[in-house]
Amino acid sequence: MSPPLITLTSDFGMSDGNVATMKGVILSICPDVRLIDISHGIPAQNINHAAFVLGTTYKHLPGSAIHLAVVDPGVGTSRHPILLVTPHGSFIGPDNGLFSYILAANGATMAEAPRPGAHVLDHVQVNVPPDCQAFLLNRAEYWMEPVSDTFHGRDIFAPAAGHLAAGVLAGDLGSVLTTLRSNYFPPNRVSNGRMDGYVIHVDRFGNLVTDLVLKEPVDLAMQVEIRGQRIKGISRTYQGGNGLLAINGSHGFLEIAYRNDDASRLVGAGVGTQVTAWYTDDSR
Amino acid sequence: MSPPLITLTSDFGMSDGNVATMKGVILSICPDVRLIDISHGIPAQNINHAAFVLGTTYKHLPGSAIHLAVVDPGVGTSRHPILLVTPHGSFIGPDNGLFSYILAANGATMAEAPRPGAHVLDHVQVNVPPDCQAFLLNRAEYWMEPVSDTFHGRDIFAPAAGHLAAGVLAGDLGSVLTTLRSNYFPPNRVSNGRMDGYVIHVDRFGNLVTDLVLKEPVDLAMQVEIRGQRIKGISRTYQGGNGLLAINGSHGFLEIAYRNDDASRLVGAGVGTQVTAWYTDDSR
Amino acid sequence: MSPPLITLTSDFGMSDGNVATMKGVILSICPDVRLIDISHGIPAQNINHAAFVLGTTYKHLPGSAIHLAVVDPGVGTSRHPILLVTPHGSFIGPDNGLFSYILAANGATMAEAPRPGAHVLDHVQVNVPPDCQAFLLNRAEYWMEPVSDTFHGRDIFAPAAGHLAAGVLAGDLGSVLTTLRSNYFPPNRVSNGRMDGYVIHVDRFGNLVTDLVLKEPVDLAMQVEIRGQRIKGISRTYQGGNGLLAINGSHGFLEIAYRNDDASRLVGAGVGTQVTAWYTDDSR
C-alpha cells in the first residue's frame, strides 16, 4: 500500500525554516508520510494566488491526498482553522478563502447574498457542499501545545494533517461547520454573445488567466479586449500571433499572453483587471 | 523502522544544480534515506541567516536527523569541515558559525574572551558542550575524490552525511575537536528594567526578530524602541495595533513587525540594528 | 530494491502549481517513485541555462534515474517530444537543445555542418550516439488525454516518465529517432598557447562559467581576459586574489569570479561573452 500523501502550500518562501518546521511536526506524528510541495512561493499574504494554485493543482494529485495550505495573514485572530473533506482530497488551513476553487468545484452555494456590485476579489459565506464535510479544528489534544498566536501552521495545521494521515478520523479533529468563507465567483456575464470577466491569476510567465471559459478552444472569429488593447482570434500555442495573444490555457480558462514575453507587465494588468470577449459577427 | 533522515540547508538557490548534486551523492551512498530541504534560499554567503534558520528549525525535526548545511564562502581555505553530534541531531558543514544556535542551545561556553565591545555579529571560539561531540572531517576514505577547492558540499559534506546515515560511526569520519567557531551572543543587557538587544534575523515577511526574550507574552506596559520609533505595548497577533507593532514571535523572541507590510523596509532596520525595550512604569 | 527515481527540471518557478501537477501525474502512474527536484528556478524559457544545469548534475545521480526536463517555449508547435536513453540516465522533454551536454558527453557527432561563424548559442542537428537511443513520444496511449497545446509537461512528458518508471519499455513509448537538436559546441580555439572560448553559464553567485578546460588546476603563469579586464594567474579558491579572479571551477571548466561579490554584474558579462586565456610566456 502506498504511504499517505500530504501536500504543502504556503507563502513562507524558501529563505526561512517554516516549511521544514511544519514537515518536522508532520513526520514526528506520521513518520512514513510522503510530502509533496505544491508551492511556497505564493506572494506574501496573497490568499487569492494560493487559492488559484491549489484549486488548479489538487485534482492532479491522488484523491486520498491531504492538502495543507497556510497563507494566513489573520493568524491568531477570529478566523477559523478548518478541515474540509471532499470526494477528491482533504484540505487543512485557515478559513479565509484559500479553498474557494475547491468549494466551487464541488458546487458550493452561497449562504448569503453577495454585496451589490461584488466582484471576484470579494468574499462571501458559502454552504459546505452535500458531498463534503467541514470541521473546526478545535480539539486541543491534536494541537502542538502551547499554541502560538503567530504560527498556526506549526501548532494547529501541521499536527492536524499529521494526525489525519496517521489515521485519526476527520470527525475527531473538531466540530462540524456548515458554512465557509469563499471568493465570490460572479457568473460570466454573457449578453449578445459578449462575455465580461476578470483576470483571476497571473502566472510565473506573466500570463493573465481570466475566469472566462470558451466554448471552442481555437476560434478565429473571437476578439478579446483588455485595457484598451484588442486581440483578434484565439491562438493555439504561445507562439501564435505577434505580440499579445489570447489562448485557451491549460487550466481551461481564457488566457492572455505575450509571445516570448510578460503580458502582465506589458499590458499593465493584474488580478481584477476586466476582460471582454466577443464574436466579431455579433452586434456590439 | 523509519529510514534515516537528512536535511539540507544552503545558499545555493534553486536555479543551479548544486542541491540535486549533493542529493545524488547522498543517494549513491545511502539509497533509502529521506531528504528534507530546510532552505536553499539563504542569501548568498549569509552565514548568520543560515545559522538562525537552522537553529530555529532543527528542534522540530526528529532527534535522529542529520543536518547538512553548506553556506561556505571560505571553501578551500583553512576553515574546518566538521561534524557536530548533539543529543538532538547531528550537524555537518563548515566550521564558520553555522551551528552557533545549536551550540548555544547546548550550553557551549566561550573558549576565549570576546573582543572588547563585541556584538552579535562577531565570532568567538567556544568549547564543544559536554553532551556533544565534534569531529574534523579529515578521513579521506569518506570523501568523494578528487576533492575540489570550490564545492566541499559535494565532495566532503554530502558524502559524510551519506556515510553517517548509512551507519558509519561519527568517530570514524574524523578526529575529535574540542572547540568550534560560534557567533558571540552578548547577554541581554538589563538594567533598571530596560533591556538592550539586537535584530538577529529578518524573515521573509520583513519581520525583525531580536535577541530579546520577554517574560510575559503580551504586555501592554512594555515599550520598544528601534531607530527612533517607539512602539507601546506588545501585541498578540500580527493584526494588532496600527502600523508598527511588537510581538512575542513564534521563535520565542521579541519581533518587530508592520501590520500587513514589511517592517525591515519601513523602519530601515536589519541584522545588527539595536533594539531597546522597557517598562513604562520603570525609571528610565 | 530501491524505488525508481525521477528528477524534475523546469522554468516553472515555485509560485505556481505546475511542478506539483507533474508530480501528481507521475504518482498516479507510479505510486512508489522517488522524486528529486533538480531546479525549477531556470530563468523563463532559458533552454541554455537548463541544459547546463542538467548536464552538470545528472552524472551525480544514479544511472537508473529518469530525468524529466521541461523548458519548452515551443510547446504545441512542431518541436518533438522525446525520450533519450543513455548508459547513465534517461532523459524526457522537448527536443530543443535541453539535452545538449548529455549528447556531447556521449560523443554525439554533427549531422549537419554548423552555419558559418556559429557559436555556442547556436543549434545544430546531431546524430544520436551509438550507445544511446532516442524516441519520439508519439504513442497516444501513454499520454494524458486530451493533450493541451500549452502544457506538455503534464500531458506528455510526466506521463512518459511515470510509465517508464513503472516498467514500460522505452521502445514502447514511441518510434526511433536518429538525430536530435543540440547546442553547437565550438572546439576551444587554441593557437600559440592562446585559448578562445565563451561564457556558457552564469551561476547563482554571478560566477561566469566558461567552456575553457585547463590542463592544470592552478596555474600562476596563465592570464585570462574578459571584456577588457585581465586576470593574472589561476586561483585555487574563491577567496584567492583581490576582486576579479579566475578559478578551475567544480564543473571542470574555467570560471571567472569576484571575491565575495557578483562577477557577472561587475564585469557586465553573461552567456556568450568571449573569454581568452593564454600563458604569459607565450607569444601573443
Residue C238 has its nearest CB partner, among B15, B31, B75, at B75
Of A217-231, B207-221, C74-88, least confident by mean pLDDT is: B207-221
Cβ pair B237:A73 closer than 8 A = no
Residues of C within 8 A of A43 (CB-CB) are 15
Interface A–C counts its CB contacts (< 8 A) at 90
Chain A contact for C24 (CB, 8 A cutoff): yes
Q: What is the pLDDT of residue B1?
A: 65
- B117 band by pLDDT with thresholds 50, 70 and 90: confident
Rg of chain B in Å (alpha carbons): 20
Q: Name the minimum distance, in Å, from the CA of A7 to any CA of chain C.
A: 9
Cβ pair A16:B260 closer than 8 A = no
Q: Burial of C138 by CB count in 10 Å (0-12 exposed, 13-18 middle, 19+ buried)?
A: middle
With beta carbons less than 8 A apart as the criterion, state whether B257 and B205 touch: yes
Q: What is the pLDDT of residue B217?
A: 63
Interface residue of A204, A218, A251 to substitute, partner C, most C CBs within 10 Å: A204
Q: What is the pLDDT of residue C110?
A: 95
B69-102: pLDDT as tens digits: 999 998 888 899 999 999 999 999 999 999 999 9
Interface residue of B33, B149, B152 to substitute, partner C, most C CBs within 10 Å: B149
For the residues C5-21, what does the mean pLDDT come to?
96
For the residues A79-96, what does the mean pLDDT come to?
98
Cβ pair C16:A43 closer than 8 A = no
The mean predicted confidence, pLDDT, of chain C is 92
Chain B contact for A3 (CB, 8 A cutoff): no
Calculate the alpha carbon distances from A190 to A93, A186, A214, A282 in Å.
35, 11, 12, 12
With beta carbons less than 8 A apart as the criterion, state whether B10 and B19 touch: yes
Sign for the CA dihedral angle at B90, B93, B97, B98 comes to: negative
Chain B contact for C279 (CB, 8 A cutoff): no
* Sequence-distant (≥ 6) Cβ neighbours of residue C5 within 8 angstroms: B27, C33, C34, C35, C36, C61, C62, C64, C65, C66, C165
Calculate the alpha carbon distances from C125 to B177, C45, C112 in Å.
56, 20, 6
Interface residue of A14, A16, A42 to substitute, partner B, most B CBs within 10 Å: A16
Interface A–B counts its CB contacts (< 8 A) at 87
Q: What is the pLDDT of residue A283?
A: 39
Q: Give the residue among A249, A160, A83, A68 at the shortest CA–CA distance from C18.
A: A249
Look at residue A20 and tell me whether its pLDDT is greater than 60: yes
Q: Which of A104-108, A247-251, B214-218, C280-284 has the highest mean pLDDT?
A: A104-108
Interface residue of C150, C155, C204 to substitute, partner A, most A CBs within 10 Å: C150
Q: Helices C18-29 and C158-165, interaxial angle, to 10°? A: 30
For the residues B111-137, what does the mean pLDDT come to?
93
Chain B contact for C241 (CB, 8 A cutoff): no
Cβ pair C24:A57 closer than 8 A = yes
Distance CA A194, CA A279 (A): 7
Q: Helices B158-165 and B18-29, interaxial angle, to 10°? A: 30
- A284 band by pLDDT with thresholds 50, 70 and 90: very low
Cβ pair B35:C36 closer than 8 A = yes
Q: Tell me how crowded residue C267 is: count the other CB atoms within 10 A of its CB.
A: 19
A158-211: pLDDT as tens digits: 999 999 999 999 999 999 999 999 999 887 677 777 889 999 999 988 999 999
Distance CA B74, CA B77 (A): 6
Strand partners, A240: none
Residues of C within 8 A of A37 (CB-CB) are 14, 19-20
Look at residue C217 and tell me whether its pLDDT is greater than 80: no
Task: Report the 3 state secondary structure along chain C.
Answer: CCCCEEEEEECCCCCCCHHHHHHHHHHHHCCCCEEEEEECCCCCCCHHHHHHHHHHHHHHCCCCCEEEEECCCCCCCCCCEEEEEECCEEEEEECCCCCHHHHHHCCCCECCCCCCCCCCCCEEEEECCCCCEEEECCCHHHCCCCCCCCCHHHHHHHHHHHHHHCCCCHHHCCEEECEEEEECCCCCEEECCEEEEEEEEECCCCCEEECCCCCCCCCCCEEEEECCEEEECEECCCCCCCCEEEEECCCCCEEEEECCECHHHHHCCCCCCEEEEEECCCCC
Q: Tell me how crowded residue A221 is: count the other CB atoms within 10 A of its CB.
A: 13
Strand partners, A81: A94
C90-141: pLDDT as tens digits: 999 999 999 999 999 999 999 999 988 888 889 999 999 999 999 999 999 9
Cell numbers for A188: 460570466
Cell numbers for B229: 520609533
Q: Name the minimum distance, in Å, from the CA of A51 to any CA of chain C.
A: 11
The mean predicted confidence, pLDDT, of chain B is 92
Look at residue B213 and tell me whether its pLDDT is greater than 90: no
Residues of B within 8 A of A19 (CB-CB) are 37, 39
With beta carbons less than 8 A apart as the criterion, state whether B253 and B275 touch: no
Q: What is the pLDDT of residue A280?
A: 73
- At C62, the amino acid letter reads P
Residues in chain C, overall count: 284
Q: Exposure string (b/e) for B92-103, b if CB count within 10 Å is 16 or more?
A: bbbbbbbbbbbb
Residues of A within 8 A of B203 (CB-CB) are 15-16
The full DSSP string for A59-120 is GGS-TT-EEEEE--TTTTSSPPEEEEEETTEEEEEESSSTTHHHHHHTT--BSSPPPTT--T
C21-59: pLDDT as tens digits: 999 999 999 999 999 999 999 999 999 999 999 999 999
Calculate the alpha carbon distances from A93 to A82, A180, A182, B126, C5 in Å.
6, 12, 13, 42, 31
Chain C contact for A53 (CB, 8 A cutoff): yes
The mean predicted confidence, pLDDT, of chain A is 92
Chain B contact for C200 (CB, 8 A cutoff): no
Cis peptide before C43 (omega within 30 of 0): no
Q: Name the minimum distance, in Å, from the CA of B43 to any CA of chain A.
A: 8
Residue A239 has its nearest CB partner, among C12, C14, C74, at C74
Q: What is the pLDDT of residue A186?
A: 82
B7-33: pLDDT as tens digits: 999 999 989 999 999 999 999 999 999
Distance CA A256, CA B259 (A): 34
| Residue A58 DSSP code | G
Q: Tell me how crowded residue C1 is: count the other CB atoms within 10 A of its CB.
A: 4
Chain A contact for C76 (CB, 8 A cutoff): yes
Portion of chain C with pLDDT greater than 90, in percent: 72
Distance CA A74, CA A141 (A): 23
Chain A contact for C135 (CB, 8 A cutoff): no
Look at residue A16 and tell me whether its pLDDT is greater than 90: yes
A130-159: pLDDT as tens digits: 999 999 999 999 999 889 888 999 999 999
The residue in chain B having the minimum alpha-carbon distance to the alpha carbon of residue C255 is: B150
With beta carbons less than 8 A apart as the criterion, state whether C233 and C246 touch: yes
Portion of chain A with pLDDT greater than 90, in percent: 72
For the residues A3-21, what does the mean pLDDT come to?
95
Look at residue C88 and tell me whether its pLDDT is greater than 80: yes
With beta carbons less than 8 A apart as the criterion, state whether B233 and B222 touch: yes
Cβ pair C21:A57 closer than 8 A = yes
Residues of B within 8 A of A16 (CB-CB) are 39, 53, 203-204
Chain C contact for B12 (CB, 8 A cutoff): yes
Residues in chain A, overall count: 284
For the residues B233-237, what does the mean pLDDT come to?
88
Task: Report the 3 state secondary structure along chain B.
Answer: CCCCEEEEEECCCCCCCHHHHHHHHHHHHCCCCEEEEEECCCCCCCHHHHHHHHHHHHHHCCCCCEEEEECCCCCCCCCCEEEEEECCEEEEEECCCCCHHHHHHCCCCECCCCCCCCCCCCEEEEECCCCCEEEECCCHHHCCCCCCCCCHHHHHHHHHHHHHHCCCCHHHCCEEECEEEEECCCCCEEECCEEEEEEEEECCCCCEEECCCCCCCCCCCEEEEECCEEEECEECCCCCCCCEEEEECCCCCEEEEECCECHHHHHCCCCCCEEEEEECCCCC
Distance CA A161, CA A147 (A): 16
Cβ pair A27:B5 closer than 8 A = yes
Q: Name the minimum distance, in Å, from the CA of A183 to any CA of chain B.
A: 20
Cβ pair A12:B56 closer than 8 A = no
For the residues C187-213, what does the mean pLDDT come to?
88
Q: Tell me how crowded residue A243 is: count the other CB atoms within 10 A of its CB.
A: 13
A38-52: pLDDT as tens digits: 999 999 999 999 999
* Sequence-distant (≥ 6) Cβ neighbours of residue C143 within 8 angstroms: C137, C155, C156, C159
Look at residue A282 and tell me whether its pLDDT is greater than 50: no
Residues of A within 8 A of C151 (CB-CB) are 250
Q: What is the pLDDT of residue A8?
A: 98
For the residues B42-68, what does the mean pLDDT come to?
96
Residue A204 has its nearest CB partner, among C15, C20, C28, at C15
What domains can be seen in chain C, in order of their start residue? 5-183 (3.40.50.10790), 189-279 (2.40.30.90)
At residue B104, φ and ψ (nearest 5 deg) are -65, -40
Residues of A within 8 A of C16 (CB-CB) are 39, 53, 203-204
Q: Is the ipTM of this complex over 0.85?
A: yes
Q: Tell me how crowded residue C177 is: count the other CB atoms within 10 A of its CB.
A: 17
At residue A42, φ and ψ (nearest 5 deg) are -60, 130
Q: What is the pLDDT of residue B284?
A: 41
Look at residue B283 and tell me whether its pLDDT is greater than 50: no
Portion of chain B with pLDDT greater than 90, in percent: 72
Distance CA A34, CA A105 (A): 26
Chain A contact for B283 (CB, 8 A cutoff): no
Q: Name the minimum distance, in Å, from the CA of B213 to any CA of chain C.
A: 34
Cell numbers for B22: 549533493
